[in-house]
């Protein structure tokens, strides 16, 4: 069976639960951002929604691949479904696992990249040709990194951490500009998500860091949920 | 040079906010000053707001002048629009959009 890295056995399943909670938070934010887009037809809200949909897609594939890796019944069902493409005696299953991991990494990196671009000022940058070509370059690099990460998983978390570092910097500037509780919490939430990705880089040294990384990520997304709720529930 | 032009939705929200700040009803002339719009522009926006039932126009008899005067009144729908717009602006600011 193909695995990216070893995780504590007692945490198997709990991490899927953590990701399910994160998935709900992410979908809520995507839906609200889409609602604003339908209201004012400004592209940045559609892009922001798209970024969170990418995150949701990545999380879905992560939950799916984890479920297949951890639980034999799920693996058997997946094997039955994928038998026509996995070949006789599942000889291509390794390739399918790598495909699954690619589909979990590429959307997440794409999401961080999109959030980084959107959170950056000045405005209307996505319309300019030279910046679109920059995005194309980044997309190429993200696809490349997602493939390389299949062999060296920490490249994924390292790239995530770099992009999140840039996002945190943008949100720090936003906090200095607006100086209110919401902007502070958003900055802090992304800082926690950044910390979780840094922790996950070192899972190959200490596997239990995976548990800590997942919990810190959950705390970050719950803080996003709290901020979202304090804005929309008024 | 940075542009501080208000978007269409911001203008609508400013008009509704000006009415709300005046206790829910305001004279068109006051509204023009409060929302910082020209007479022509304000009329075109008011027409839209009336169509969308975000405001309504009431006529009142003024004893002093022995004539009727118009007041613009914010509706329940207008108040809902304002609070929704406020939430969206907070979301936009929070996420640096």
What is the model's pLDDT at position B63? 75
Mean residue pLDDT of chain B comes to 85
Name every residue whose Cβ is closer than 8 Å to that of residue A45 and which is 6 or more positions away in sequence: A33, A34, A36, A37, B97
Structural domain contains residue B77: yes
pLDDT digits (tens, 9 = 90+) for A38-47: 988 888 899 9
C-alpha pair distances (Å), A130 with each of A56, A120, A136, A137 = 29, 16, 10, 11
Torsion angle (degrees, nearest 10) of CA A127, B8, B52, B14: 140
Residues of chain A scoring pLDDT < 70? 1-5, 86-93, 122-133, 137, 150
Would residue B96 be called left, alpha or beta, if left means φ above 0 and alpha means ψ between -120 and 50 degrees? left
pLDDT digits (tens, 9 = 90+) for B44-54: 889 999 999 99
- Give the percent of chain B with pLDDT over 70: 95
| Three state DSSP letters for A44-89 | HHHHHHHHHHHHHHHHHHHHHHHHHHHCHHHHHHHHHHHHHHHCHH
Structural domain contains residue B80: yes
Number of CB atoms found within 10 A of residue A52's CB: 23
The domain tally of chain B equals 1
For A119, the closest chain B residue by CA position comes to B96
- Is pLDDT larger for residue A183 or for residue B65? A183
Structural domain contains residue B3: no
Instruction: Extract the tokens encoding A157.
Output: 């978390």
> How big is the CA angle at B7 (ends B4 and B12), to the nearest 5 degrees?
120
Question: The dihedral of CA A115, A118, A120, A126: what is its sign?
Answer: positive
Confidence of residue B3 (pLDDT cuts 50, 70, 90): very low
Residue B97 and residue A118: Cβ atoms within 8 Å? yes
Structural domain contains residue B48: yes
Nearest to A15 by CA among A61, A62, A78: A62
Confidence of residue B37 (pLDDT cuts 50, 70, 90): confident
CATH value at residue B61: 1.10.10.10
What is the model's pLDDT at position B1? 37
Structural domain contains residue B37: yes
For B8, the closest chain A residue by CA position comes to A40
Which of A36, A170, A185 has its CB closest to that of B96? A170
Nearest to A186 by CA among B89, B84, B86, B91: B91
d(CA A146, CA A102): 6
Per the structure, the complete domain to which residue B41 belongs is given by: 8-94
Q: What are the chain A neighbours of B93 within 8 Å (beta carbons)?
A: 174, 178, 180, 182-183
| H helix runs in chain A, sequence order | 14-40, 43-70, 72-86, 93-118, 129-148, 154-178, 181-201, 209-232
Q: Is the ipTM of this complex over 0.90?
A: no
Which of B7, B83, B94 has its CB closest to that of A186? B94
Asked, as a colleague might, if the bond just before A122 is cis with ω within 30 of 0, I would say yes
| H helix runs in chain B, sequence order | 8-21, 28-34, 39-51, 76-94
> How big is the CA angle at B57 (ends B51 and B63), to the nearest 5 degrees?
170
Residue A180 and residue B93: Cβ atoms within 8 Å? yes
The single residue listed with the structure tokens 């975000």 is B54
Helices A181-201 and B76-94: crossing angle in degrees, nearest 10, is 40
- Is pLDDT larger for residue B59 or for residue B91? B91
Please check the confidence at residue B39 and state whether its pLDDT lies above 80.
yes
Taken in order of first residue, the domains within chain A and their CATH numbers are 9-229 (1.20.1070)
């Amino acid at each position: 069976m193909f695995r990216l890295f070893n995780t504590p056995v007692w945490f198997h399943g709990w991490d899927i639960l953590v990701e399910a909670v994160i998935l709900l938070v992410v979908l809520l934010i995507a839906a609200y951002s889409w609602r604003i887009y339908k209201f004012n037809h400004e592209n940045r809200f559609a892009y922001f929604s798209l970024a969170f949909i990418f995150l949701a897609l990545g999380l879905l594939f992560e939950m799916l691949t984890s479920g297949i890796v951890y639980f034999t019944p799920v693996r058997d069902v997946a094997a039955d479904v994928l038998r026509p493409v996995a070949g006789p005696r599942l000889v291509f299953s390794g390739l399918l696992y790598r495909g699954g991991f690619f589909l979990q990494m590429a959307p997440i990196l794409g999401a961080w990249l999109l959030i980084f671009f959107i959170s950056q000022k000045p405005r209307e940058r996505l319309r300019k040709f030279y910046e679109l070509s920059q995005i194309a370059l980044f997309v190429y690099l993200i696809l490349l990194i997602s493939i390389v990460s299949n062999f060296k998983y920490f490249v994924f978390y390292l790239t995530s951490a770099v992009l999140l570092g840039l996002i945190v910097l943008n949100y720090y500037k936003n906090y200095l500009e607006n100086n209110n509780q919401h902007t502070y919490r958003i900055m802090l939430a992304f800082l926690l998500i950044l910390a979780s990705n840094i922790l996950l880089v070192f899972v190959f040294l200490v596997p239990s860091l995976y548990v800590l990384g997942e919990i810190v990520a959950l705390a970050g997304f719950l803080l996003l949920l709290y901020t979202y709720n304090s804005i929309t529930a008024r | 040079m940075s542009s501080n032009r208000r978007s269409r939705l911001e203008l609508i929200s400013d008009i509704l906010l000006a009415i709300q700040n005046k206790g829910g009803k305001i004279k068109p002339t006051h509204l023009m000053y409060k929302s910082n719009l020209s007479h022509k522009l304000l009329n075109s926006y008011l027409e839209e707001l009336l169509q969308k039932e975000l405001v309504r126009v009431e006529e009142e008899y003024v004893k002093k002048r022995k004539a009727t005067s118009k007041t613009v009144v914010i509706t329940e729908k207008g108040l809902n629009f304002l609070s929704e717009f406020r939430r969206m602006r907070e979301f936009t600011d929070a996420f640096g959009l």
